[in-house]
Amino acid sequence: MKRAALCLLLLPFALFMATKIRSQNRAAAGKSVTTVEGIGASSLHPVQKAFMVHDALQCGFCTPGFIVEAAAFHDRWRATKGTATPSREEIGAALSGHLCRCGAYDGIFSAVAAACAGQFDGGESVELPSSFPWKEPIEELGDRTIAPEPTWETLRFDQVAVGDELPKLVIELTPTLIIATAIATQDYQDVHHDRDMVQRRGHPDVFMNILTTTGFAGRFITDWAGPEALIQAAGIRLGVPNYPYGEMTISGRVTEREEQPTGDRGTLTVEVRGVNKLGTHLDGQLTLTLPR
């Protein structure tokens, strides 16, 4: 009975879609259809160059549709209005059938306006603005170890002394790391994954959330102490943000050692510090127990 009801519901929709496709086929009959592959095939279209310079995308999922629609609008506009700058409303009306789930609208609108105003005519290559940190050459890693292999041998409490330095942990800060860990820790604050929003708030880029920072501080400890180490407490203070395109180096040393009454484990306190190219990102103490 339920299935029959569903069919009764879907049928009109299917009929509607079939009619719509048929009418679109009729509308396209005898006409040439240009897809995104056809735009900029020989040389980049002004809209494509403008999208690059105005950072008009994040994940890029919606970009082909926006490029095709914006290029069509641009060509119509230039044919009738020359290099006048279209208003946000005029651009919005032209692109209204498209959605960007990443919210890259500021870049999209400014790109289309600039292209229509003729700022990207002629010339093949585009100069990406210096505010794009990824313009910097990727640093050659050379023989520097990024992160030591985590130990699978658990340290014994008696093997550790106050003043012991832990091996450094270097974390490469990428947009993927920052966004993925925010989502993985169910922190949907836009500053951790929405570049447009965070730039509107005056930050150069998305930045790492405290849950991820605390997680890396924990990893720093267990990579050194081993799988039987039990972290009891973490007191973390955040300093400068962890923005992408750089690295965070975590270092630390044992500051306290305390026998446990039961005698089979002991408690250690480790002072931890994480720095990036802007300064101290994390500062704090972690307490853990180790078997004797």
Footprint on this chain of ligand FES (rule: CB under 6 A): 57-63, 100-102, 104
What is the nearest approach in angstroms of ligand FES to the Cβ of residue 54?
Answer: 13
What is the nearest approach in angstroms of ligand FES to the Cβ of residue 25?
Answer: 28
Looking at beta carbons only, is 195 or 281 nearer to ligand FES?
195
Looking at beta carbons only, is 100 or 178 nearer to ligand FES?
100
What is the nearest approach in angstroms of ligand FES to the Cβ of residue 280?
Answer: 33
Tokens representing residue 231 in the block: 């972290």
Looking at beta carbons only, is 174 or 267 nearer to ligand FES?
174
Looking at beta carbons only, is 44 or 100 nearer to ligand FES?
100
Looking at beta carbons only, is 16 or 134 nearer to ligand FES?
134
Please, are residues 195 and 107 in contact by the beta-carbon 8 Å criterion? Answer: no
Looking at beta carbons only, is 99 or 184 nearer to ligand FES?
99
What is the nearest approach in angstroms of ligand FES to the Cβ of residue 66?
Answer: 7
What is the nearest approach in angstroms of ligand FES to the Cβ of residue 114?
Answer: 18
The type of residue at 285 is: Q
Tokens representing residue 239 in the block: 């300093």
What is the nearest approach in angstroms of ligand FES to the Cβ of residue 65?
Answer: 9
Please, are residues 170 and 249 in contact by the beta-carbon 8 Å criterion? Answer: yes
